[in-house]
Amino acid sequence: MNRFCVAALLLMSCFVMPAAAVIETYEFSNEELEQRYQDLSAELRCPKCQNQNIADSNAPIAQDLRKRLYQQLEGGASDGEILDYMVARYGEFVLYRPRFSGATAVLWLAPVLLLLAAIVLALLVLRRRKDSGERTGGELSVAEQQRLHTLLDESESGS
Amino acid sequence: MGPRLKLFIPLILFVVLALFLLRGLELDPREMPSALIDRPLPEFTLPSLGSDTLVNRDAVIGEVALFNVWATWCVSCRVEHPYLNQLTQQGVPIYGVNYKDEDQDALRWLQELGNPYRLNIVDADGSLGLDLGVYGAPETYLVDAGGVIRYRHVGVVDERVWRDILQPIYQELLEERAP
Amino acid sequence: MIPEIGHYALINALCLAVILAVLPAWGAWRRNTTAMSLAPGLAVGQLVFVAISFACLAAAFLQDDFTVKVVASNSNSLLPPMYKFSALWGNHEGSLLLWALILCFWTTAVALLSPQLPMQVLSRVLSVMGGIAVGFLSFSLFTSNPFERLLPGSPVDGSDLNPLLQDPGLIIHPPLLYMGYVGFSVAFAFAIAALLGGRLDASWARWSRPWTNVAWAFLTLGIMLGSWWAYYELGWGGWWFWDPVENASFMPWLAGTALIHSLAATEKRGLFKSWTVLLAIFAFSLSLLGTFLVRSGVLTSVHAFATDPARGMFILLFLAIVVGGSLILYALRAPAVSSRVSFAWVSRESLLLFNNVVFLVATLTVLFGTLFPLFMDALGQGKYSVGPPYFNAVFVPLMALLAPFMGLGPVSRWKGDTVARWKGELGISAAVAVVCGLTLPLLGADYNLWVALAALLAAWLVLGLVRDAWYRVRGASSLGSGLRRLTPSYCGMLLAHLGFAACVLGVVATSQYNVERDLKMSPGDSETLAGYTFEFVELAPVRGPNFVADEARFRVTKDNELIATLAPQKRRYLASGSVMTEAAIDAGLFRDLFVAMGEPIGSDGAWAIRLHYKPMVRWMWLGAILMGFGGFATALDKRYRRQRRTATASAQGVLHGA
């Protein structure tokens, strides 16, 4: 029961947080670093919140991570080094852009494979439709014409 | 494949999806295993609470122990504190990581509520916490004799958590060391 | 007393829903006219009882009846009345009642507005919708009763509505969104009825098409409002986060977009019948899946309702019955052999097919990406996150692939067209589009390739459409009579496609040219951003009905000319104590200026201030509004209201159904 209360409290606090937009005023030594800061903080997930990046979250942990991100950028770390640093401490979970690996290969390849499969299927459909089109010249065959007339008559008299 | 059989493909895909969703109901997406499991306790050199000495990693490893991340601003820490006192009495070594806290507040807290910790590492700016992958207090890490993190519990440690989760691992680690 | 009446009415509604689910379907099977003729009455009765129930809950909210649990936990006596009313659907129980109400509304609409529908078909459709109502009403009654009392021990005052939801946008966003979600149940019911009756023909497509278009239009507007709300209310200027809850509404939209195009081919040409039925099932299944994802807690989201595994289990069971059942029916009854309708490589049909390819892949990718963390967790592979970088990386190329073909679609002919004719029709448009792509980005801050591509594609779409419309109108005696030549269907398509072009342009321009600065500012300071000077004039305390706030007053000038005065607030709500950022926005067709307050810095009155310059951000929502209106317009077409189907249509249907 206690645990549930704690969890509920955490949940509440995280839900209310988003509205208190995070605005911090780090002074960067150049604009490129500031841009990288914005990009990276948008791609790192706050480990504790519901579903927010560290740029948007006001949770204490997100503040700490932003501070560390700032320090690392000013310290000259590369993007790769910073991401490795975060993953070593908080796991793959912190990356909103999962890194390509054996486990995530299916995620990154799925759209391409799906698109290829769908295009192949569509082309098969097209080819079949075109064949039948050539056979009947795109028009109704004699038998079909007759059938249409019968049906028309039927429905005329039926309605 | 017959033309009729092809029409069963959506059904099959849905059944697979539904099984995953069913499994998903049992899983807690918020339950996070630590990224540091089976990794060595990070290096640090930080003050020890209530004294002027600095402690480092070597000072706290050597036997199976709990590392409890706590702070006076943390409501749940007060909830688990009495149980930590009990564990110490049972002979379980507990080190404290006083996380982003004021020394004065922390000392007063220990005076009032009892001190279950062998020593407290003062992590005023949360840098050790960050290296440990701490989300917030309280968290409790189980570290083996070789200084390797073996388990992390997020939230309050109470009798049930100790009995069902931590103690079995703790015993296992003790036995690992024995032979 | 009032809540008990509401509870009782809800029970009555469930009873009627059970009868509606069973009796007309039985009547259609046994050809029992009496049983079938009861269906419309049952649908109306069901609506009346759910409406009573809804009104009772609304009364409980408006009268501050804190003995009712949902009122106590989601309202407060200080809350302005309109938010007390909208608080009704700001929680799980109440929003479920809204779901049920809208479902009953759609059911009644189908019952009353379908005089041309054969009785058997209508009975089956209404029975299917009754079955869905049984599921949702029992979900409400058995797991999430909105009328549960807190007696004894009811609080003196309520714990307030989440301040994020205290916003005009959030009054209409959920009803619109649900109108869309639930509206797809009509397309679903028509599909199931057609499978049950074994008649999958052009008339089936014609009946379900206007309903589907209208539902899609509502969903479009609902999603647009949600995005707009996030933009101005969450306080950091974002408008789409690819959060699981957003994806839950976006997936039915994507599938629905594929469906409305596929329905066009089915109605006009009797093509892709099995596929269209599958899409109808798919679109509604995704609505149900969205409900599951939002309310079961299997995924972490910013917007999730308080969750409960019992509820998750109930919806999953319901999902399994509805989706599993309909897919079994589909596998057994859908035509396995495709019709013998033919079309050439170069034709409108093949372009619609391509539309379906793109939207299907988009839907499945969003579905897979959203559920990927769940899959990995279930397989014991660890915790992963899939967020905006992934979805953008997939989605942008797909839309870029779609747009060139989209420009060809509306001008192409059914059955067969020729590349030579395309060249003649669109050659000039293509050339002008290239010029637009090359020149329009020059108006921006710097030349940007993405913006160039977006301008090229948008111009290609717009010019092609405008030229086509012009060719249809010209030659008439006057412009008015020329415009009357355009059918509502055509106008709807025109609006929706123009809306899409506006959306593409807005999304790309605002993402590429957005300027954002976080600054420390004190009263008296000024800062220049993208040519606009923001002057922090003063800080003042203000008081609202249920909050107190610090208000920062800004003067924005450009070339010494006053553009706007902006007053963002930092609010503290009295009941919950929660702190909210209320951004101030000066909206414009070509740019938005956005100011939000962070925290005070130090003690000398300085604040952290966020300034945004967002070019063309409105185009995205204006585009969505155009798309929505386009969807509504198509439903006005006369051919959907003809009392008696023409003999030709019916004969064609039978022929293609063979």
The sign of the torsion formed by the CA atoms of A107, A113, A115, A117 equals: negative
> 3-state class of C334 per DSSP?
coil
- Shortest CB distance from A6 goes to which of B34, B76, B126? B76
Q: Do B14 and C274 touch (CB under 8 A)?
A: no
The answer to whether C359 and A108 have CB atoms below 8 angstroms apart is no
In this complex, which of A7, A48, A87 lies closest to B135 when CB atoms are compared?
Answer: A48
Cis preceding-peptide flag for C174 (omega within 30 of 0): no
With a pLDDT cut of 70, the percent of chain B lying above it is 98
Yes or no, beta carbons of B136 and A48 under 8 Å apart: yes
Can you give the pLDDT at residue C58? Answer: 96
Q: Give yes or no for residue C180 having a pLDDT over 60.
A: yes
Q: Kindly state the average pLDDT of the residues B55-60.
A: 90
Closest partner CB to A93 (pick from C384, C393, C518): C384
CA distance B100 to chain C (A): 20
Q: Which of residues 18 through 47 in chain B touch C, CB cutoff 8 A? A: 18, 20-25, 27, 29-30, 32-33
By the 8 A CB rule, do C173 and C222 touch? Answer: yes
Question: What whole-number distance in Å separates Cα of residue C119 and Cα of residue C302?
Answer: 46
Mean pLDDT in residue range C585-608: 88
Which tens digit of pLDDT belongs to each residue from C496-544?
Answer: 999 999 999 999 999 999 888 888 899 999 999 888 999 999 999 999 8
> What is the pTM for the complete model shown?
0.90
Q: From the CA of A5, how many Å to the nearest CA of chain B?
A: 10
List all chains that touch chain B, counting a touch as 3 or more CB pairs closer than 8 Å: A, C
Which has the closest alpha carbon to C384: B29, A10, B16? Answer: B29
Inform me whether the C-beta atom of residue C488 falls under 8 Å from chain B C-beta atoms: no
Model confidence at C649, in pLDDT bands (50, 70, 90)? very low
A19/C581 touch (CB, cutoff 8 Å), yes or no: yes
Q: What is the pLDDT of residues C12-46, one digit of tens each?
A: 999 999 999 999 999 999 999 999 999 999 999 99
Angle between helices C273-296 and C348-378 (to 10 degrees): 30
Report strand pairing: C606-615 vs C591-601. antiparallel
C309-331 pLDDT per residue, tens: 788 899 999 999 999 999 999 99
Residues of B in contact with C377 (CB under 8 A): 24, 27, 29
Tell me the domain boundaries of chain C. 1-159, 176-263+273-295+311-335, 343-417, 515-617
> Does B107 contact chain A (CB < 8 Å)?
no
Residue C650 is predicted with a pLDDT of 42
C519 reaches A (C-beta below 8 A): yes
Measured distance CA(C554)–CA(C479) in Å, rounded: 48
CB of C278 less than 8 A from some CB of B: yes
- Buried b or exposed e, range C291-315, using 16+ CB within 10 angstroms: bbbbbbbbbbbbbbbebeeebbebb
CA distance C202 to C191: 12
**Residue B74: phi, psi to the nearest 5?**
-95, 115
Chain C neighbours, 3+ Cβ pairs < 8 A: A, B
d(CA C217, CA C496): 9
Distance of residue C421 Cα from the nearest chain A Cα, in angstroms? 19
Q: Which of residues 358-417 of C touch B (CB under 8 A)?
A: 371, 373-375, 377-378, 382-383
Of residues B64, B171, B66, the one with CA closest to residue B117: B66
CA–CA min distance C244, chain B (Å): 13
Instruction: Say what the pLDDT of residue B179 is.
Output: 55
- Which chain C residues are closer than 8 Å to B38 by Cβ? none
Looking at every residue in chain C, the average pLDDT score rounds to: 89
Average model confidence (pLDDT) for chain B? 90
Between these two residues, A25 and B88, which has the higher pLDDT value? B88
Which of C309, C313, C323 comes nearest B14 by C-beta? C323
Q: For chain A, give the mean pLDDT.
A: 75
Q: Which of A36, A34, A57 is nearest to A47 (CA)?
A: A57
A124 close contact with C: CB closer than 8 A: no
CA dihedral C461, C464, C466, C468 (to 10 degrees): -140
Q: Judge whether C393 and A43 are in contact, CB under 8 Å.
A: no
Q: What are phi and psi of C412, to 5 degrees?
A: -85, 160
* Under 8 Å between Cβ of C210 and C635: yes
The confidence score (pLDDT) of residue C340 equals 74
Domains contained in chain B, CATH given: 33-177 (3.40.30.10)
pLDDT for C306 beyond 70? no
Residue C146: pLDDT over 80: yes
CATH of domain A2-94: 1.10.8.640
Tally A–B CB contacts below 8 A. 46
Taking CA atoms, what residue in B is nearest to A86?
A: B133
* Domain covering C515-617 assigned CATH 2.60.98 in the classification: yes
Which residues on chain A are in Cβ contact (under 8 Å) with C349? 129
Confidence of residue C642 (pLDDT cuts 50, 70, 90): low
Asked if A47 and B32 come within 8 Å (Cβ–Cβ), the reply is yes
Name the residue with tokens 């509820």. Answer: C311
The complex's ipTM works out to: 0.89
Predicted pLDDT at A148: 56
| Residues of C in Cβ contact (< 8 Å) with A125 | 338, 353
